[in-house]
Amino acid sequence: MAKLIPAKHLLLIGIVCAFLAIVFFAFPTGASKDTQNMSLTITPQVIKEAELSLFESGSSSLNNVKTQVISNQATHNSLPYLIDKGGENDQLNNSNTKPSTSSFTANPSPKFTIEKHSVQIKEGDSLSKVLSSYQVSANDIYKVSSADKKQKSLLRMRPGQHLEFAIEQPSGSLKHIKLVLNRLQSIDFKRKNDQFERGETNRTPDISQTYKEAVINNSLFVDGMNANIDQPLLIELANIFGWDIDFALDIRKGDRFSLLYEEKFLDGEKIANGKILAAQFINNGRTFQAIRYETNKGANYYTPDGLAMRKAFIRTPVDFTRISSKFNPNRLHPIFKTSRPHRGVDYAAASGTPVKAAGDGKVSFAGKQRGYGNVVIINHGKGYQTLYAHLRGFARGMRKGKKVKQGNIIAYVGQTGWATGPHLHYEFRVNGVHKNPVTVKLPNDDPMPKADLKKYLPYAQGVVAALTNSNSAEFSQRLALLKD
């Protein structure tokens, strides 16, 4: 019987049987509940008859065959393919039915967040110490430091300043860092192309002028602060008039002062005081006025006529508690009990109190002189010379020929030589003649250049008018009495 069937037909029957057996094996019946369902994506592909030759056996070959390949995406195992005779399944090419596809969900991308931190710099803190505590990498710290290599602002952080920075998570990458120097100044470092760029931010405060005045009943500082004048302003006021008024000896009850100064505001809030623009002081029947003006040499205070408030010498070269011995040509010497002139002033002060140079000059002597003990003598030029005696020791580098500036520390109060207690003996000489340091008229500093004086005089008139118009009635009355 089998011999009566053509070989081609037998081959086709065998292939079909094999295909059906595989289909039954791959798709069992629903009788077994333990069998997993499988999602398949079936993409039919028709192979043209001319492109396929499956078998060539002797004189017989299988032609006019189309194949459909079924791909199992779940197991990636190839299923047997179906072979049909040409023409019977051409409708597959024109079918509008879309093959089903298996669903696939990829892992979601990680979400990035920015953490912001603000740290107040403490003693011993450094950039590396602060950032490392927040797990910022050493590589990022190095990159920020490289952006600040020339200015070195991050190396000079001071306690009290703030460091603000932003870190991207979960990568831990440093994105931005800001060093807040004060409320007006900050330095920024922003990440760009895996490097950091440095920039500076400077805010400008709003400026307003404020007038205040006070009457002295106790002291400059006690009564000034009672009048709501900040202590730094009072210190500056004392420095302005310090060449004309000895605030330890000259102040009297009933003295008055007034000042016109700047106040700085940021976002409506006062953040600091500015400079004193003008001030006046009534001391023991004398009136002094000072106006701030800036020239090519810098800002200084001048009288309304353009004379420098700064004198060539400061009145007292040491902070003292009292004058223990005044200038007296006929004084009885405390040790020898004989009449010996006292050609200077003794300022009682604690041992070790700094002694300042009264004016610019050059040291002509630094050493020991019999009863004076340790002594420094300074030549100031134009016939002026000052002497400082009974010193405990000298400032570092103090020697003959050294140049000093007014206010430089030259030595320290002591009790060397013929001294009965720690004090500074101070002498002021003009062309070799001893003068009383407390009452001697001190020469003014260098005058204002004529070109600046022409601009200054009309400006000074306007400032004096503003100061006068701000005076209280009582203050104005007191000024009027002094003028009369």
* 202: its two tokens: 């400077």
Q: How confident is the model at residue 207 (pLDDT cuts 50, 70, 90)?
A: very high
pLDDT at 19: 72
Question: Does residue 192 carry a pLDDT above 80?
Answer: yes
- Taking the C-alpha atoms of residue 267 and residue 150, their distance in angstroms, rounded to an integer, is 33
Residue 395 has pLDDT above 70, yes or no: yes
Average pLDDT (23-47) is 48
Asked if 463 and 455 count as a contact pair (C-beta separation under 8 A), the reply is no
The secondary structure of 53-114 as a DSSP string is ---EETTEE--SEEEE--B-TTT-PBPPPEEEETTTTGGGGG--PPPP-----PPPPPPPEE
Which of the pair, 100 or 196, is modelled with greater confidence? 196
Q: Is the pLDDT of residue 244 over 50?
A: yes
Coil, strand or helix at 437: coil
Burial 315-328 (b: 16+ CB within 10 A, else e): bbbbebeebbbebe
Return the pLDDT at 369.
93
pLDDT-based confidence at residue 180 (cuts at 50, 70, 90): very high
Q: What is the chain's mean pLDDT, rounded?
A: 82
The band of 66, judged by pLDDT with boundaries at 50, 70 and 90, is very low
pLDDT at residue 121 in the model: 94
Q: Given this model, what pLDDT does residue 51 score?
A: 44
pLDDT higher than 60, residue 269: yes
Q: Grade residue 380 by pLDDT with cuts at 50, 70 and 90.
A: very high
Angle at 479 between CA 474 and CA 480, to 5 degrees: 95
pLDDT at residue 111, as a whole number: 80
CATH class of 113-202: alpha beta
Tell me how far apart the alpha carbons of residues 115 and 174 are, in angstroms, rounded to a whole number: 10
Q: Which of 87-96, 191-200, 452-461 has the lowest mean pLDDT?
A: 87-96
**Which of 42-46, 282-286, 296-300, 336-340 shows the lowest per-residue confidence on average (mean pLDDT)?**
42-46
Both tokens of residue 311? 């004198």
Does pLDDT of 204 surpass 60?
yes
Q: Residue 458 pLDDT more than 60?
A: yes
| Of 198, 185, 182, the residue nearest 148 (C-alpha) | 198
Per-residue pLDDT at 335 exceeds 90: no
Return the CATH class of domain 322-435.
mainly beta
- Residue 324 confidence (pLDDT) above 50: yes
Residue 341's pLDDT is what? 81
Residue 334: is the preceding peptide bond cis (ω within 30°)?
no
Burial environment of residue 279 by CB neighbours within 10 A (0 to 12, 13 to 18, 19 or more) = buried
Identify the CATH assignment for 206-302 out of 2.40.50.100, 2.60.40.730, 3.20.20.105, 3.10.450.350.
Answer: 3.10.450.350
Judge if 113-202 and 206-302 fold alike in CATH terms: yes
Per-residue model confidence (pLDDT) at position 317 = 93
Q: Has residue 464 got a pLDDT over 90?
A: yes
Number of Cβ within a 10 Å radius of residue 436: 15
- Which of 89-103, 284-298, 415-429 shows the lowest mean pLDDT across its residues? 89-103
In this prediction, residue 76 carries a pLDDT of: 41
DSSP-assigned states of every residue in 223-286: HHHHTT--HHHHHHHHHHHTTT--TTTT--TT-EEEEEEEEEEETTEEEEEEEEEEEEEEETTE
Locate the domains of the chain by residue range: 2-25+40-94, 113-202, 206-302, 322-435
Is the pTM higher than 0.75? no
